[in-house]
Every structure is written in C-alpha cells, then in structure tokens.
C-alpha cells in the first residue's frame, strides 16, 4: 500500500529528484528560454538546485519546515534570475505552512503546496494565463486538492497534480506573455512553451515519483 504521509526524508528525496530533473533537462529549459527570454533558465535552475543539494548534504535538517526553508533560502541566494526568488519563495512558504513536524499527511502537504503557490502569486503578481510557471503550478495544486476532496489518497493526488502540471505547461504554448522577460516580446511570445512552466512540471513529476516510491 502506498504511504499516506511524506516525512522529512521524503521531502528531501523530492528536492533531490527535482534537482536531478532540472540538471537532466537543463539544455531543453535553456532552449525554451532562448526563444522568449535570455537563455538562462536551465542554468539558473540547475545551479540553484545543485546549491540546495550541497547545502542539504552538509546539514540535513530533521524537521520539514527547516528542510523546506533551507532549500528556499538557498535558491533565493544562489539564483540571480526571476526563478530563484520565485521558487525560493515557494519552498519558504511551504516550510512556514508545514511547521516543525517530521511528516506531512496528504491534507498537510496540500496546505503547504497551496501556501507555496500563494507565496509565488504574492511575490510575482502574475495571474493564470500570463504565461508563467503559475500556469503549471496553479492547476497542479488545484488537482491535488480535488483528488483529496474526491476521496483519493496521497498517491492519487500527486499523480493528478503531475498530470495537471504537464497539461498546464503545454497550454502555455499559444499564450502571449504578460509577466517576466517574455512579456517584452508581446505577441511574438506566442507559439513557445514557457520555460518556468516546464520546470514546474518537473517539480510535480518529481513529487509524484517520490510519493510513488514511498
């Protein structure tokens, strides 16, 4: 039977998987950013997540909030692009919502993900449809909640969130960017996937893999 909670080691595993995924897809993320940005999203995410992994390897916190906050602060301080503060805020707010616990059950993880999403909205002021990473994250968090509300377990929620994030990423293709560097291109930003939505799909794919493995 699949686990009904994710503990601090599980959250660490998620972060490690996300780091490996952005490192593996680094060229692709940069290619996406070269079409509508400044060709650094792959490098930004790979550098940031590698700094996070190093930091956590030197002092792995025992509590969920410490782990998530350490990841968030490391991202904010190691990535110069927009994505560093945005993903950093996501993990920081997740940590604040999680609190000093050793494990999160499905509703607690849902609440933490929602808090992370709200932190990104507060920081970046983007709305759904602006062609940003929110277009993958917002449907993912909604799908996570909907699965639980429908009686689904943690594994089903994580799976549905990963599928929704990938669908949201793909749905950025025709959009005209209204936030971030891509917005400077106006109508010419249409016809390209948003790089941040692509990395966010990897974030939820990694969470699903962690839950499925647990």
Contacting positions for Mg ion (CB under 5 A): 33, 37-38, 40-41
Q: Is the dihedral of CA 146, 152, 158, 160 positive or negative?
A: negative
74 is a site residue for ligand ADP (CB under 6 A):
no
Longest CA pairwise span in the chain (Å)? 49
180 binds, among Mg ion, ligand ADP, none (CB under 5 to 8 A by kind): ligand ADP
194 is a site residue for ligand ADP (CB under 6 A):
yes
86 binds, among ligand ADP, Mg ion, none (CB under 5 to 8 A by kind): ligand ADP
Q: Which of 86, 98, 143, 164 binds ligand ADP (CB under 6 A)?
A: 86
- In the three-class reduction of DSSP (H, G, I as helix; E, B as strand; rest coil), residue 104 is classed as strand
* Of 102, 68, 100, nearest in space to 87 by CA: 68
Q: Which of 82, 94, 106, 162 binds ligand ADP (CB under 6 A)?
A: 82
116 is a site residue for ligand ADP (CB under 6 A):
no
97 binds, among ligand ADP, Mg ion, none (CB under 5 to 8 A by kind): none
- Write out the DSSP string of 75-90: HHHH--STHHHHHHHH
- In the three-class reduction of DSSP (H, G, I as helix; E, B as strand; rest coil), residue 125 is classed as coil
Burial state string for 125-144 with b = 16 or more CB within 10 A and e = fewer than 16: ebeeebbbbbbbbbbbbbbb
| CA angle centred on 156, ends 151 and 162, rounded to 5° | 135
Return the number of the residue (22 or 147) whose C-beta is nearest ligand ADP. Answer: 22
CA Rg value for the chain: 16
168 is a site residue for ligand ADP (CB under 6 A):
no
Least Cβ distance, residue 25 to ligand ADP (angstroms): 13
85 is a site residue for ligand ADP (CB under 6 A):
no
Contacts to ligand ADP by CB under 6 A: 33, 37-38, 40-41, 44, 81-83, 86, 120, 124-126, 132-134, 179-181, 194-197
């Amino acid at each position: 039977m699949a686990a009904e909670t994710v503990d601090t080691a599980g959250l660490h595993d998620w972060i490690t998987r996300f780091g490996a995924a952005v490192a593996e897809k680094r060229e692709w993320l940069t290619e996406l950013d070269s079409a509508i940005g400044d060709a650094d999203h792959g490098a930004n995410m790979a550098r940031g997540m590698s700094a996070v992994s190093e930091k956590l390897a030197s002092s792995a916190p025992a509590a969920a909030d410490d782990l998530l906050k350490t990841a968030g602060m490391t991202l904010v301080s190691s990535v110069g692009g927009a994505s560093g503060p945005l993903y950093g805020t996501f993990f920081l707010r997740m940590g604040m919502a999680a609190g000093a616990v050793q494990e999160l059950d499905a509703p607690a993880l849902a609440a933490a993900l929602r808090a992370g999403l709200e932190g990104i909205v507060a920081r970046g002021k983007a709305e759904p449809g602006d062609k940003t990473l929110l277009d993958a994250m917002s449907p993912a968090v909604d799908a996570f909640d909907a699965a639980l509300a429908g009686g689904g377990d943690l594994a089903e929620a994580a799976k549905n969130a990963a599928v929704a994030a990938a669908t949201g990423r793909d749905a950025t293709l025709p959009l005209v960017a209204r936030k971030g560097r891509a917005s400077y291109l106006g109508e010419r930003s249409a016809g390209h996937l948003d790089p941040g939505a692509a990395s966010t799909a990897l974030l939820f794919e990694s969470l699903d893999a962690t839950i499925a493995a647990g």
